[in-house]
Amino acid sequence: MRAVVTGGAGFIGSHLIEALVVRGDDVLCIERPGATQGWLGEQPIEFAPIGIESVDALQRALDGAQVVFHLAALTEARTPEAFYAVNTEGTYRVLQAAARLGEHAPRVILLSSLAALGPCRNGEPLSPDSVPCPLSHYGQSKLLAETMVHAFGDRVPATVLRFPSVYGPRERGVLKFFQMVHRGFAVSIGRWDREVSMLYVQDAVQALLGAASSPRAAGRTYCVAHPDPVTWARFADAAGQAMGRMPLRLSVPVPVARAVAVAAEGVSRLRHQAAILNRERVRELIQARWVCDPSRAVAELDFRPRFAVERGAAEAVAWYRKEGWL
């Protein structure tokens, strides 16, 4: 099968491409101009640093493909406009390029986010049919990307996968949390009993492959996560168990976190960089429950997650140590 992966040199994309190569697929990785192959340097694939700005270039790249995994996105940005330029308008261009291929249009798998839905309301788990209420420009940009998929539904067979936080080897965001635990402490904003869904990267790859092969998935939206939600306290303990140490748990009061976020935004503006911690991110982090129901993915994508948080944390820690990241 001919598969195209946008953003394929990144964390999730590189794991996906490795799985595609193992099963014998012909793979093209699309990355932004100037990007390197990174983790894919040894893989027998085509690499095209053409970005997702030109519909003509994308059409040529997608011609002959059976499936396109659209993973390219911004999770951090200097301005709100940048989220929409990449996450929303970029998705539009990928779909437009696929639609130009007419009856040979490939199936498009859009990697979206639970941020497009917002947190749980009234304690109910998030589902594909939940009313969206995103809290951030990132979440809004992903929700609008999903509307692009629906707009092209009569021309491009497409599937939307909403992922929670994905962790595992090569990931650098959650790595910061593991590094804290390695030093003997862990920091949370607000309460430690906040509950979230999580997804280990190998389970994420399984869901992506399932969405591409399932005849039922075209035109459908799925929430994808391990069915066992975790508290941040449990995640900290799982990381500690993997490292042989139990971290001291510290809580940053929400008003203090908001003040720090304002300061971080100011510094980032002066440096012309994206703020890793900002007020929108704090607002998302302090929600009591951000849990989804993956039952539709289990039923229709043959999604069988194998990595509960204790196993996933142990696998991640082992890799980080092997690579000298911990």
CATH number, residue 54: 3.40.50.720
Mean pLDDT computed over every residue of the chain: 93
pLDDT tens profile 167-193: 999 999 889 999 999 999 999 988 999
Q: What is the pTM of this model?
A: 0.94
Q: Is residue 6 part of a domain?
A: yes
Q: Is residue 231 part of a domain?
A: no
Q: Is residue 265 part of a domain?
A: no
Name the β-bridge partners of 29. Answer: 5, 47
Give kind and range of the element (H or E) at residue 251. Answer: strand 248-252
Q: Is residue 215 part of a domain?
A: yes
Q: Is residue 285 part of a domain?
A: no
User: How far, rounded to the nearest angstrom, does the alpha carbon of residue 298 sit from its chain's CA centroid?
Assistant: 19
Q: Is residue 22 part of a domain?
A: yes
Q: Is residue 314 part of a domain?
A: no
Number of structural domains the chain divides into: 1
**Which mean pLDDT values do the consecutive 10-residue runs of the chain (326 residues) have?**
95 97 96 92 93 96 97 91 96 98 96 96 91 95 97 96 96 91 91 95 98 94 96 94 92 85 76 76 87 96 95 96 94
Give kind and range of the element (H or E) at residue 195. Answer: strand 195-196
Residue 59, domain extent = 2-165+200-224+290-306
The DSSP code for 78 is S
pLDDT of residue 183: 93
Q: Is residue 80 part of a domain?
A: yes
3-state secondary structure of 152: coil
The DSSP code for 292 is B
